[in-house]
Every structure is written in C-alpha cells, then in structure tokens.
Amino acid sequence: MKRKHKRLTFVAIALLLLGAAAALVLSAFEDSIVFFYSPTELAEKNVVDGRHVRIGGLVKEGSIKKGEGAVTLFEVTDLSNTIAVSFTGLLPDLFREGQGVVAEGKLKDGVFMASDVLAKHDENYMPPEVADALKKSGQWNTGGNPPAKEESAK
Amino acid sequence: MFHRFANPARFLRFAAVIQPWIAGLTVLLFAVGLYLGLLASPADYQQGETVRMMYVHVPSAWMALFCYTGMAISCGVALIWKHPLADLAAKATAPVGASFTFLALVTGSLWGKPMWGAWWVWDARLTSMLVLFFLYLGYMALNNAFDDPGRGSKASSILALVGFVNVPIIKFSVDWWNTLHQPASVVKMGGPAIHASILSPLLVMGVAFTTYYLWVLLIRIRREVTANKVRALQMRQASRGEQ
C-alpha cells in the first residue's frame, strides 16, 4: 500500500468514526437540543409547575382573548393536545390565530404563564395575491408551520 | 483532468485569463439580482417587505456551508495527496467563508427581530451556525499559530476535517429537532416551497454570491502563490548574505 493510500484510508475511517460519535452524542442529548415541547410532549414529560420550559404549536383558532390590562389569553395546540397560555406584554407582529408560536415560561395550575412569546413562520413564501387565490380555491393548508404534525407522525 | 491545474504555474496562467470574466459576471449577476430582489419582486403574503432580507441572508448561509465544504475537501486533498494548490485554496477560502457566515448571522438576527420577536435564540440551527463561525476562526488561528507554515497547515487541516461533521448538522438541524428557524424552503423533498417570483431573485443572488466567491478565491490564491515566491527569494538572498 502506498503512503497516500494509507493516509486516505486513515482519514476516511477517522471521519466515519467521528460522524458516528457525533450522531450518538446528538441523539443522546436530543431532549436538550429541541427548542420547545409540543403540548403533547409537555403532558408526556410530566413537567412540574414552576419549571422553566418552552412550548410550541399553533395558536388555536378563536382562542385569543384580551384579559385585564396587557394580558392576552390564548391556546396553543398541536392538533391533538391543547394548552392554555397567559401572556403579559407586547406580541410579535406575526402573532395571530393559526400561526406557529413558541412561548417561554412555566406551568401554573394547568395554565402556561409565558414570559416571552416568539412567532414562528413557515417555509412557504409567496406574493399576497397568490395566497388569496389559494385560499379562495380551497387549496390552502392552514398557515403556520405545524411542528405538532411532525410530532404526531412519529 | 484537474491534475493539470494542480501545477501552480499553469494555474496562474489559467487564473489570469478567467479572472476578468468572472469579475464581469459577478457585477452583472449582482445588478440583476438586486434589481429583481429589491424592486421587481413582490412582498411576501406573511412577512411583507422584510422577506427581501432573504436575498442576502439565504445566499450568505449557502455560501457559508459551500465554502466550508470546499475548504474541508481541499484540506483532505492537501493532507492525503499533498497537492500544493489544495492547501492554498483552503487557506484562501477560510476568511471568505467566515465573512459569509458572519453576514448570515447578522442578517438573520436583523430579520429575526421583526419576524420572530428575538434577535437571537439558542435553537439548533442558530447555534450550529455560530459553531461554524468559530470553526472558521479556529482554522485561521491554528493555521497561523506555528513558526513552520507546513505544521500549521497540517494541524489546521485536521481541524477543518473534524469540523466538517457540523455541516450536515446545520443543514438537517431544522428537520431533526424542532427549532424556531423554519425548515428548508429551496433544497428539500418535493421541490421548493417558494413562489417563482420570489425564488428567481433568490437563485440569481445565489449564483452571484458563488461567482463572487470564485473571483475572490482566484485573487487570494494568486496572491498566496506570489507571496510564497517572494518568501523563497528572500530566504535564498538571506542564505547568500550569510556566506
């Protein structure tokens, strides 16, 4: 075997091992790499009251209510489970019904008390006229990026 | 076929011929891309005018990954086959790739504030992109950390190859974990999820960024080859002076 072939084999094997090691580490830490839990995962994980977590999903249609002062109440759903959220403060522009959101905060008596709400948008880009035309012809599959759909498919 | 251009002298002649053409093409593509992106394309149904940030952000992020992949391949070729130009190409790519990564991070941050409501979050996509930026910086630092340039390029080549693990992680981070960053729009199963009127300026800008990189790469490799020649001459002169 020539020296350069030796080096080639060595580099190839080292990269393979490294890739395998990285895959193992990442799958072991999956729980801490995910940015948020869906309402279903939140229920499954038995997250205790007062623990700081992020939840994500779609803002349920017709669930947005104004509370006292600057309080907004809404529900986040992953289409199989739903959780009530209470947030005090300014919401991002993209926040609306059917939109993907990520809320940061803690659970208190079954209500998620959010300290921060971020809007999530999907990977679809189109001019407004095209969006209107799609909605009119009924080919629109609800706005927002449903992370929940991926979760329930697993 | 590429072996022919691995000869520095032949490469220099070839580079001198194509460089003005690439420069012209870059200017033309940027003019067309910016016109399409800033004036001729529509606003997005959801994000409004801020969608135009995409025409800089997405090509920068593509180039950040493209440059790193090119750099890692060059480093592999330099380590295994000891081609002199491969080492120079890797060295010349690093600062360009780092700049693209920086641009992607900054434009992403400026876009994230109005759309998501945050300048920065520690989700898998953003964090792995920041790691890529540090890998570029680490490569450049290590490359210059030795008195003997040969040892520096060997050590930094190994770092670049190890860091390549991060590239697929960046690409698939949005599919493997839930993130605030949305999934891929262009390179994905089932074709792009972008309307043609928004996709075409994006692709033109993507090609413009690529030719820009090739242009800068040619300039930097030519400069490196010349600098090496000067260094060799100085060494010869110095050794003659000692006698």
The residue ranges of every structural domain in chain B are 22-180+193-238
Instruction: Tell which A residues from 89 to 118 touch B, by Cβ distance under 8 Å.
Output: 91-94, 102, 116-118
Q: Tell me: pLDDT of B1 over 50.
A: no
The residue ranges of every structural domain in chain A are 1-33, 35-153
pLDDT, tens digit, 9 for 90 and up, residues B85-115: 899 999 999 999 999 999 999 999 999 998 8
| Yes or no, beta carbons of B169 and A120 under 8 Å apart | no
**3-state SS class at B209:** helix
pLDDT, tens digit, 9 for 90 and up, residues A78-111: 888 899 999 988 888 888 888 899 999 998 888 8
* Mean pLDDT calculated for residue range B167-173: 93
Res A52: pLDDT: 87
CA distance B53 to A143: 21
| Yes or no, beta carbons of A26 and B162 under 8 Å apart | no
Q: Tell me: pLDDT of B208 over 90.
A: yes
CA distance B70 to B77: 11
Angle in degrees, CA B129, B135, B137, rounded to 5: 110
The complex scores an ipTM of: 0.80
CATH for the B22-180+193-238 domain, from 1.20.1050, 3.30.70, 1.10.20, 1.20.120: 1.20.120
Backbone φ, ψ for residue B27 (5° rounding): -60, -45
* pLDDT higher at B177 or A137: B177
* pLDDT higher at B228 or B171: B171
| Yes or no, beta carbons of B43 and A38 under 8 Å apart | no
Across the interface, of B42, B182, B195, the residue whose CB is closest to A145 is B182
Across the interface, of B117, B176, B194, the residue whose CB is closest to A118 is B117
Q: Are A58 and A100 in contact (CB under 8 A)?
A: yes
Q: Which residue has the tokens 């000692």?
A: B242
Chain centre to alpha carbon of residue A59: 12
| Yes or no, beta carbons of A35 and B177 under 8 Å apart | yes
CATH fold for the domain made of A35-153:
OB fold (Dihydrolipoamide Acetyltransferase, E2P) (2.40.50)
pLDDT, tens digit, 9 for 90 and up, residues A16-64: 999 999 999 998 888 788 889 988 888 888 777 888 889 999 998 888 8
Res A128: pLDDT: 85
